[in-house]
Amino acid sequence: CLPSSRNSPWKTKRASLHRRRNELRDKSGALTGLTAVPDNDDSGAPRRSASARAVLDLLGLSTRAGAVAFGTDAVRSAAREGEVHQVLLAKDAAEGQQGKLVPLLDARRIPYYIGFSRKELGDATGRAPVSAVGLTNPKLAKRVGELLKAIPLLEDQQRGN
């Protein structure tokens, strides 16, 4: 005998999720309190812009979707195979690692961005600090590229193509 739809555990679970979502909405209707990456950490680093936080959030989404290559070697091999569409390089990565990647990315005309720290990239992907992250999904890479253009450039940040 099937349970009645009125007392279904799935229905009550869904209703509680809807209530929780509505509790998180502010007066304008936007969701609040659902940031995957904190605005600032305990180290006293400056707060990131909304675009930078959105990039890090999309990086986490890409990780869960399996559309990311982690580390310098994985990004290099994905770039050679034509699988990577956007690369994020850590600003505090070793010069040797950047020296391996930047010429290859320039030669293949793959857009890249240098500006996040290794810790920020690692936290966004749920891993240890990482020096390079390559996005293999073209639609996510395109959206990340759009958001990166909205981030104000600082003196130590650079963009490729």
> Under a CB-based contact definition with an 8 Å cutoff, are residues 65 and 112 in contact?
no
CB-based contacts of 134, cutoff 8 Å, min separation 6: 68, 69, 74, 75, 78, 79, 83, 84, 86, 87, 88
The answer, as to whether pTM is greater than 0.85, is no
* 34: phi then psi, degrees, rounded to nearest 5: -115, 40
pLDDT tens, position by position, 72-83: 999 999 999 999
Mean per-residue pLDDT of the chain: 77
